Chain A
Amino acid sequence: MFWISSTAHAKKLMPTAATDIAYQVDNLYSFLLISSFIACAILIGGMIFFAHKYKRKSVHAKSAYITHNVFLEFLWSFIPLVIFLAVFAWGWLIFHDMRSMPKDALEIHVRGKQWAWEAEYKSGVKAANLIKVPINKDVKLILTSTDVLHSFYVPSFRIKQDAVPGRYTALWFNANKFGEFHIFCTEYCGTQHSGMIGKLHVVTQQEYDQWLEEESKFNTLPLAQKGEKLFQLKACSGCHSVKNSAVLAGPSLYKKFGTEEELKDGMKIAVDESYIRESILTPNAKIVKGFNAGVMPTFQGQLSEDELAALIEYLKTTK
């Protein structure tokens, strides 16, 4: 009884299983937990029992002289081997499902970069740290990275795959529960590794279609609103706060436009369009006092002129 209740408890501690594969993984995990409890009970229990029973009463007492026992040794080699091979095979079966990409899946490109997840849908819609998918639909994520290694991990789906620069990896899932699930980065990637958290949002097909429709209007938005989206999308928000003057990896940009910035070398400079443009494209040209060079990646060649303009217009509104 104790084993069953403790595994049930352990399962409760796991994040909600929101795919069929997650459910299968949990079953295997429960089996492993129960057999581990039994193995530990034999080993640790046996140890405590022997330690108690054969406690020394006299230094001169004789101990038994037993050098080996072929039958016992065969048993405790063979039984673990059989159990190990069984759980190996079970694990392989589920792993094979994880790695067999379904046909006709909804494909989404996902790029890891320091320090955000960028999703790009086939319609051209982009989202940062957010992947919206319809429920009960096979979804395939095609992963890569633009800088260092990252690893895409959704605990509720029990899936994980490294995003490797210079090549594509992939994973798939079919969510059967509505809700918002965490996306973590599980491959160490530098300063904001633990802040590289995204949301996987499972919605109805209708909501999904609506959302795609709305997002595709991106190019017709007013500049400042477009800039606000870009600020998220390009992961600027990971390092620069805009709602208050909290200091993250980079200086806060809250109420920054139109003020004066003190630089590392003591010089002061007006925060105007040209300064912001320079700071985005060649961030190491001028370093704000209290910060270091080399932290912010350069965006030279990665932003178009109108995207730059949108970002600048947005920063004028962060008040």
Chain B
Amino acid sequence: MASTTHNPDVNYLNEFKGIGSWFTSLDHKRIGLLYMVSIFFFFLLGGIFALLIRLELFSPGAQFLTPDQYNQVMTYHGAIMVFMVIVPGIPAILGNFFLPLQIGAKDVAFPRLNLASWYVFMTGALIAMSTLFLGKVDTGWTFYTPYSIKTGTAATIMVLAAFVMGMSSILTGLNFIVTTHKLRAPGMTMHRIPLFCWALYSTAILQVLATPVLAITLLLIAVERATGVGIFDPALGGDPVLFQHFFWFYSHPAVYIMILPAMGVVSEVIAAFSRKTIFGYTAIAYSSLGIAAVSFFVWGHHMFVSGQSEIAGVVFSFLTMLVGVPTAIKMFNWLATLYKGNISFESPMLFALGFLFLFAIGGVTGIMLAVLATDVHFHDTYFVVAHFHYVMVGGTLMAVMGGIYYWIPKMFGRMYNESLARLTFIFIFIGFNVTFFPQFVLGAMGMPRRYFDYIPAYESLNKISTMGSWLIGIGFFLSLYVIISAIRSGAKASANPWGAKTLEWQTSSPPPHFNFETEPVVTAGPYEYK
């Protein structure tokens, strides 16, 4: 129990000692850090697979992988990055840590469930990793049928792993919804919670409603592989396109599970470093909910050429345009927040501005893919690969990095090395564009994705892309060094180094076990820079 008298040297990091106190901790902050260590590890793994992909594609023909090995590498890169890094990333690390702090709560609503969700996640992740030693998986992260039914590899284990990790995602989402509704401090009305919390809340709704559909679909694959019931395999009377409908019914909302929390982080960082109230709080908050709602009805835009009817394609293209509007609204709101601000450019802000830059490009190319006629050409080419990396890496990962630098002082009570951190931004930002911009051109030229080999016309752009991947690699390794050395030996951080107004900065750094010495009473909105 935290003592009621103030002792500034006791905080959540040192109040309980020993490795066991971490693995049994119900403290949302410690659970956030458990997630951070695990997800960083998986990110490293997924990143190594990414570098292998780029190395193999450095030149046409076989370099050092066989086609089957390449297919496995690209499957693991996708599956790890999606299910083990980007989907859980921001909610499980930063959300776990800061949702309760930002709404003035002692913890999440169900601390035990929170710890359980980490164990469930790790179980799923270990099952997924076990396939590396049990035959490997070569289905791509999308598990399209009937290939995933016929392939002789460890696909059954992998889909079960994704099923288990989905369970963890549902538990986290449920926890966040209840926390947001029930544990807000006195005076913290729904319209006073920070935009990061709105983003987490919208994400949580998606996690709870969409993930079960994926879970059941994946289970059906496992059942079909084990018993041969004909659900998806046409040889048994099933329908492979049905799988795509089920799969994207989850996996499109999942795209927003990945990006909404990132948008939340960016809102926080831009307001704090512009020292200015956010422009259009209500518009940003409700556009998150709007995106969440509409995102359930756009899954068919992944299937314009799958054999679905023309009218289905038209409806899905139309609805996709509607989801573009709230996204555009957010972009303009962030831009307007900069107007007449008092802007400084520490690394969190650089990453947030980098996010705006890359997300703008990711957004407009998204429109090109939502337009029926152009999508027919771009679908399943490198254009799509470039687009979703601009959104997922350029968007979400930039926000993860920005968010981590922003909150490191609060999480560990230490500052990171600012000039090195800026250097990581330069490497990641430039490396990212060098890697992925040429892929738009490759896609327009017609290079299909998931290609182990390619025709000579695509060689020079693939070379550039591969070289860019080395810059990104350097950037992330450098980030790891910056973060670790900040934790080990960074200068002491004050309670509120950025002068931000949200609640987490009003308690000490690092916060005490129960977050606040006395329950905060809220009398104003989150961004009152007057």
Chain A interface residues (CB < 8 Å from chain B): 10, 13-15, 24-25, 28-29, 32, 35-36, 39-40, 43-44, 46-47, 50-51, 54-56, 58-59, 61-69, 72-73, 76-77, 80-81, 84-85, 87-88, 90-96, 98-99, 147-149, 151, 153, 155-156, 158-162, 164-167, 169, 182, 184-195, 197, 249, 294
By a CB distance below 8 angstroms, the chain B residues around A190 are 71, 138, 147, 151
Minimum CB–CB distance from B387 to chain A (whole Å) comes to 12
User: Across the two chains, which residue of chain A brings its CB closest to B370?
Assistant: A88
Alpha-carbon gap, A62 to B275, bound state (A): 8
Query: Given the complex of chains A and B, what is the CA–CA distance between A195 and B336 in angstroms?
Result: 50
Q: A51-B345, A182-B446 are in contact. Are A28 and B371 (CB under 8 A)?
A: yes
A169 near B356: Cβ-Cβ < 8 Å: no
Complex alpha-carbon distance, A68 and B283, angstroms: 9
In the bound complex, CA of A195 to CA of B453 (Å): 7
How many residues of B sit at the interface, in one of the four size bands? 35 or more
CA distance A193 to B71 in the complex (A): 9
26 inter-chain pairs at a CB distance below 8 angstroms, sorted by A residue, are: A13-B444, A14-B444, A28-B373, A39-B360, A40-B360, A40-B364, A43-B356, A54-B274, A55-B344, A56-B343, A63-B276, A63-B342, A65-B276, A73-B280, A73-B329, A81-B321, A91-B372, A92-B314, A95-B313, A95-B314, A147-B150, A149-B240, A151-B305, A166-B239, A192-B67, A195-B453
Is B29 an interface residue, CB under 8 A from the partner? Answer: no
Q: Once the chains bind, are B325 and A149 in contact (CB under 8 Å)?
A: no
Does B377 sit at the interface, judged by CB under 8 A? yes
Q: In the complex the two chains form, what is the Cα distance from A54 to B273 in whole Å? A: 11
Task: Specify which of A13, A64, A166 is in contact with B340 (CB 8 Å cutoff).
Answer: A64
Closest residue of B by beta carbon distance from A248? B67
Interfacial chain A residues near B451, Cβ < 8 Å:
193-194
CA–CA, A55 and B343, complex, Å: 5
Contact of B373 among A43, A76, A98 (CB under 8 A): A98
Docked pose: A26 CA to B58 CA in angstroms: 29
Query: What 7 A-B pairs are tightest by C-beta distance, nearest first?
Result: A166-B234, A155-B446, A91-B371, A94-B373, A64-B340, A95-B372, A36-B364
Q: Judge whether B336 and A148 touch: CB under 8 Å.
A: no
- Which chain A positions have C-beta within 8 A of B274? 54, 63
> A59-B499, A80-B328, A195-B67 are known contacts; what are 17 more A-B pairs with Cβ within 8 Å?
A32-B364, A39-B364, A54-B343, A55-B343, A56-B344, A63-B529, A73-B280, A80-B324, A84-B370, A87-B371, A88-B370, A91-B371, A99-B310, A147-B146, A162-B306, A166-B235, A186-B379
How long is the Cα–Cα vector from A209 to B234 in the complex, in angstroms?
Answer: 37
Contacts of B379 in A (CB 8 A): 160, 186
Q: Is the CB of A63 within 8 A of B275?
A: yes
- With contact pairs A14-B445, A40-B360, A160-B377 given, residues A194 and B305 touching in the complex (Cβ less than 8 Å): no
B282 interface residue (CB < 8 Å to A): yes
Residue B437 at the chain A interface, CB threshold 8 Å: no
* Residue on B nearest A41 in the bound complex, by CB: B360
A residues in contact with B283, CB < 8 Å: 68, 73
**B341–A92 CB distance below 8 A:** no
Q: Point out which of B71, B306, B376 has the most chain A C-beta atoms below 10 A from its C-beta.
A: B376
Please state if A94 and B364 are interface contacts (CB–CB under 8 Å).
no
CA–CA, A189 and B329, complex, Å: 39
Q: Is the CB of A95 within 8 A of B340?
A: no
Chain A: minimal CB distance from B216 (Å): 21
The proximity string for B residues 380-393 relative to A, scoring 1 for CB distances below 8 Å and 0 otherwise, is 11000000000000
Chain A residues near B68: list those with CB within 8 A: 191
With A15-B446, A40-B360 already in contact, the answer to whether A54 and B342 are too (CB < 8 A) is yes
Q: How far is the CA of A59 from the CA of B274 in the complex (A)?
A: 10
Nearest CB of chain A from residue B457's CB, rounded to whole Å: 9
- Asked if A68 contacts B343 (CB within 8 A), the reply is no
Bound: A77/B325 CA distance, A: 6
Residue of A nearest to B340 (CB): A64
Interface assignment of B331: CB less than 8 Å from any CB of chain A? yes
* C-alpha gap A98/B68 in the complex (Å): 35
- Min Cβ gap A155→B in Å is 3
Contact with A184, one of B304, B322, B446 (Cβ below 8 angstroms): B446
A77 to B341, CA, bound (A): 23
Are A165 and B235 CB-contacts (below 8 A) given A32-B368, A67-B281, A92-B317? yes
